[in-house]
Chains A and B, each alone.
Chain A
Amino acid sequence: MRRSVILSIGVCCVFGVSGIGSGQQLSGRDIALKVHDSNKSAAGIVLKGQMVLKNLKSGSSESRSVVALSVRNGGLSKSLFRFTDSSYSGTTFLTLERSGSDNLQYLYLRSVGSPRQIEGSNREDSFVDTDLSNEDLGGSRVDDYNYKRLPDQNIGGKECYVLERYPKSTSSNYSKHIVIIDRATMLPLSVKSYGRSGRVVKTMRSGQFQKVGGAIYVPMYMKVVDIEKKHETLLRVKNAVEKQINRGYFNRNRLNMRWAEQ
């Protein structure tokens, strides 16, 4: 079964349930699978926050309100992401995890009126105009990478796993990623993505992990910086709750409907 791995973005780390075991014998791939299975909720998780896109060269920035919903069903995740204000208000992104095949991703645009299945040969492409990639929003899978576990580190008082993962595809934009995972929450604290030149081209940092519901942790802020383009996307979660979510939302034909959680 091909399973998605959600290492590089906090938003997606809320999908699922935690299952942290003894870390000493785990291989890099085992840890990746654990992260994938952690912090997911069968009931559902609702996040509300603000996304700030900033041009680090000019200093100009743009702010958008976002709402994200996620739910775990039968071991597979479903997630929704919507801009609720600005000129992109109503733009909605749906990811449906599938077993045995690629995840499905749909984008709803108000002006177009009907959702479009987004099928890019490159999941590393940007998600709309942010610094997040489609892969960050659930497009990648554990088996897309080879893993190497590096010595654990203590960072800011947190015991962390350190993984190096290498894309299997030779046409990937990245040569490797170094991922630091907080052992206590199984949330990634930091991801450094290295370009084909061997340099860090993108970084992700998250923090202020907050417990939501039973054993689910959510990062209350996450910052992705595109070093080459000198552009950053800051996602600040204002409100995170575990609650029962209407499963009907996760339907490609209902992406235009208003959510009670908005």
Chain B
Amino acid sequence: MYDRLLSLFSALYKKPLAVSLCGLIITALFSIAIPYIKFDNDVKNFLPQAHPHRAAHNRLDDVFGSSEIIIIGVESKNAFSKETVSYIKWITGEIEALNKDFPVQNISRELGLTREEAQKLIAAINENELLGKQALKSLLESPERLSEELFWDAGFAKKIAEKVSRISIDELLNMYRLPVDEVKSVINTDYIRGEGDRFVVEKLIDPDKVDAAAVAAMKNKVGSWDMYRGLLFSGDGTLTAMAVQLNPIDINLRQKLDLAIEKIIKENPRGGLKIYLAGEPVLSDRISSSMGSDLQRLLPFVLLVMLVILILMFRHYEGVLLPMIAIIFSVIWTMGTMVVLGIPMSMVSISVPTVLSAVASAYGIHFMTHYFMSRARSRLEGVMDSMKESGLAIIIAGLTTVAGFGSLVTSDMTHIKKFGIITAIGVFYSLAISITLIPAFLALRKNEKPLLSFMKKEQGGSDYSLRILMFIQKHLGPRPRIVFGAGILLLCISVAGITRLEVDMNSMDFFQEGSDMKVADNRLNEQLAGTQRLNINLETTDGSEVITPAVLEKVEQFQKDITKKFAIAGKAVSVNDYLKKMNQEMHGGDGQHFRLPENVQMTRDYLLLYSGDIDNMISKKKDKLRIHISLHREKMDELRKVRDYAAEYFDSNFRRENKVAVHSTGFMDMMVEANILVLDGQLKSLIFSLLVVTLLIFMVFRNLRLTLVGLIPLVLGITMNFGVMGFFNIPLNAATALVAAISIGIGIDYSVHFISQFRNSSARFTDVDTALRNTYEGTGRAILSNVASVAAGFLVLMFSQFPIIQQCGGLIAFTVCTTGIGAIILIPAALKMIQYVEEKIKVSKAG
């Protein structure tokens, strides 16, 4: 089988120019795509499109308005001041101006139109959007109709029709959509007041009349209704919050909007006012925007590390240049493929270039080592010798790594699944480049293959790595049971650590202590009811009204109970708060009537009477209501308890009797679900990858015992990884969940290489110790070098600005070391134990 493959490679290497040109063309094409890569860390996109919680979130946000909210906190000595209100009025105006201009900018940029042309197109979409997408598209793509129906000049109509036909209607509508739905603040918040037979719904303050008296009146109004406390104003009256409610728009456009808002705030400081920016969209978009700079910093760094390692290993420009080309090409091809497949760069896939650099270097190093070790003088023969010696091991190692990474596709967490797909593809590219392009580039050269100095050391056996290996063999080789016992002890300690492992993925984990995002989030969580939002939605199953006394009473009790039971639940608000206030004001402001209306008709009439905006709490048809819960930032486990309590509170009896369905939605809800997917995905991918890797090793070795021996370092390495996470309080999250799969993918190579070499050595030497020494001399050194280079590559991630990426890099480096060293120490011990057992059996049989 492999002979046939070799003849195919031989034919390929005889046409080095064609192969090289093909490789260069593919690289050039993928390079063109890279600038179009998108960044996406939206919590919503952690879940698959069809996930029930995501589907419920989208459906119910369509009814109640978007849950995507940017929180702007304005802090001063006294938030009830003219200065604060004036600032809020000013910043509202700035955001509205930005909102108005944003689609014009986007459409003119993306479609290559002037601002005036873009405005005209926007007006046309605006006036015809109710036609529906397809009818709108058909209108905008027809120059004749544009001329006839919109009275446009024929030339302009033709130009617009051409431009619009190049993009999908969804893309166009995405650019057209206003990014901000509403800016809610003290200047447009409703206040309800009753005086005699007058019923007044007014704003807390008229922004056109901001004076000392108006501010004092506003303070009285705020003090008279507890609903504002913690949501609009802090309890001590020093901080007021604005909520910028966003429309669902393309994530990259949203990032631009967030940055623009941040820029306006930063460039316009006001004396005496501290401004804080928080909210999940800001956090995830800041992660995305910072990821670009992180990548720009880390990628050259990892390439530099690889360069140093290659120089130390080969000390010859060919040994350095060609594996480096393999690394760079692999990264380019993979990132280009991400664009082609529409896979965005996320908090998970940010490590793809580093992973590929480390992995691709391994294949290049193995290939080049055997190439230089070949005694052939011709380059083509050297290449073929290398393929004969190491080709199969490289291919098997590559395929097992593909399987290891590919196992992540079993995760339902979107970013992890996509990471699995893209790294599997990337590793395959690395493999393909290492065994096609590197040989082709070598074969292009007509001069003789160089003979490197380290070749002489191969025979001499006096370098440091070999000394370490010999030390291991000398001291640990004769004591397999002690080695094994130590391994089991480490395993047990690690299991103890695993029991302390927590699953906790939170956007704030990406930010360092003291960063502006963390400072703002902490401050707003201290002063307000919480920056995280959980929505509990109740809807009738038969479309009838949900405002029955039984349902409203239950909601009322729930609001009280949840804030009493959980300190992190800062506030729970629903339509009940408005109904109670209306009831009170309809009874002359009598506090005794601050309670729910007596019957459905009264509730219905109050809702009819209320002219303000409560669309985010009750649907127009009154068949759905939403409870908004503000939560302080806490560990995900605590937040999950709140969510689960809410789900259980409205139990099946209540649901059946009142014909209601209950759904939790909001960013917090999706984050909880994403955490569940991380844990489920971790277990699934772990089992799947171990199974696939076991199968692949078995197919190669066709020996169950060797297969199981090959798994020992992996099992110990992975267990130690989770144990370390438990002991050092490193939670399982989207990034650290990758460690196991990456480590299996990389670590299995060490077992494959070691056992493969041991089998070859065993064929030559009947004594196990001699065969092992021979294995150490050959592959042992390569494994140590590889462990060093891969671990160094991943340690670069420790220089990321994101703590969870740092943890991920450190853990992978640690696990690669444990699996690599485990392969060198534990596999020989296991082999000797097997030999010992076999001899025992022989003796007993003979006896």
Name A residues whose Cβ lies closer than 8 Å to a Cβ of B. Answer: 53, 55-57, 60, 62, 87-88, 91, 107, 109-112, 114-122, 125-129, 134, 169-171, 196-200, 225, 227, 229-231, 252
Contact = CB atoms under 8 A, between A and B. Distances in A.
Given A57-B62, A128-B608, A199-B126, A110 B601 contact: yes
Given A111-B602, A171-B208, A227-B130, 7 more contacts: A55-B621, A111-B604, A111-B605, A112-B602, A117-B199, A119-B199, A169-B208
Contact of B202 (A120, A127, A199, A227): A120
Contact of B197 (A114, A121, A134, A227): A114
List the 9 shortest-distance A-B pairs measured between CB atoms, nearest first: A125-B611, A121-B202, A109-B605, A111-B602, A116-B199, A111-B601, A117-B198, A119-B200, A128-B608
Contact of B609 (A55, A56, A87, A128): A128
User: What band does the interface of chain B fall in when counting residues whose beta carbon is under 8 Å from A?
Assistant: 35 or more
Contacts of B620: 53, 55, 129, 231
B673 interface: no
B268 interface: no
A129 B202 contact: no
B208 A200 contact: no
B657 interface: no
Contacts of B207: 170-171
Contacts of A62: 621
Contacts of A116: 194, 197-199, 586, 609
Contact of A225 (B130, B178, B599): B130
Contacts of B615: 229
B509 interface: no
Nearest to A109: B605
A30 B355 CA distance: 74
Interface string B175-214: 0001000000001100000100111111100111000000
Contacts of A125: 201, 611-613
B611 A126 contact: yes
B150 to A, nearest CB: 14
- B interface SS class: mixed
A166 to B, nearest CB: 15
B607 interface: yes
Contacts of B611: 118, 120, 122, 125-128, 134
Interface of B: 62, 96, 99-100, 122-123, 126-127, 129-130, 178, 187-188, 194, 197-203, 206-208, 586, 597, 599, 601-602, 604-605, 607-609, 611-613, 615, 620-621
A24 B379 CA distance: 95
Contact of A230 (B130, B178, B203): B130
Nearest to B194: A116
Contacts, number: 106
B201 A117 contact: no
Contacts of B187: 171
Nearest to B199: A116
A199 B130 contact: no
A225 B199 CA distance: 27
A229 to B, nearest CB: 8
Given A120-B201, A128-B609, A197 B129 contact: no
B599 A111 contact: yes
A76 to B, nearest CB: 21
| Residue with the highest number of chain B CB atoms closer than 10 Å, among A121, A229, A252 | A121
A217 to B, nearest CB: 27
A110 B605 CA distance: 8
A91 B99 CA distance: 39
Contacts of A115: 197
Given A57-B62, A114-B197, A200 B127 contact: yes
Contact of B96 (A107, A129, A196, A227): A196
A121 B206 contact: yes
B575 to A, nearest CB: 13
A107 B601 contact: no
| Residue with the highest number of chain A CB atoms closer than 10 Å, among B100, B187, B620 | B620
A60 B126 CA distance: 23
B179 to A, nearest CB: 10
A129 B198 contact: no
B629 to A, nearest CB: 25
Given A60-B621, A117-B199, A197-B99, A129 B608 contact: yes
Contacts of B612: 120, 125
A231 B62 CA distance: 13
A183 to B, nearest CB: 22
A197 B129 CA distance: 16
Nearest to B129: A227
A89 to B, nearest CB: 10
A126 B613 CA distance: 9
B100 A197 contact: yes
Contact of A198 (B100, B206, B609): B100
Contacts of A198: 100
Contacts of A227: 126, 129-130
A88 B608 contact: yes
B206 A109 contact: no
Nearest to B100: A197
Contacts of B605: 88, 91, 109-112
| Residue with the highest number of chain B CB atoms closer than 10 Å, among A62, A127, A169, A199 | A199
Contacts of B206: 121, 171
Contact of A87 (B202, B208, B601): B601
25 contacts: A55-B620, A60-B621, A87-B601, A87-B604, A88-B605, A91-B605, A107-B199, A110-B605, A111-B597, A112-B586, A116-B199, A119-B200, A120-B200, A121-B200, A122-B202, A122-B203, A128-B609, A197-B96, A197-B99, A197-B100, A199-B122, A199-B126, A200-B127, A227-B130, A230-B130
B613 to A, nearest CB: 8
Nearest to B207: A171
Nearest to A199: B126
Contacts of B601: 87, 110-111
Nearest to A171: B207
Contacts of B607: 129
B440 to A, nearest CB: 58
A199 B247 CA distance: 15
Given A109-B608, A111-B605, A134-B611, A200 B126 contact: yes
A227 B178 CA distance: 13
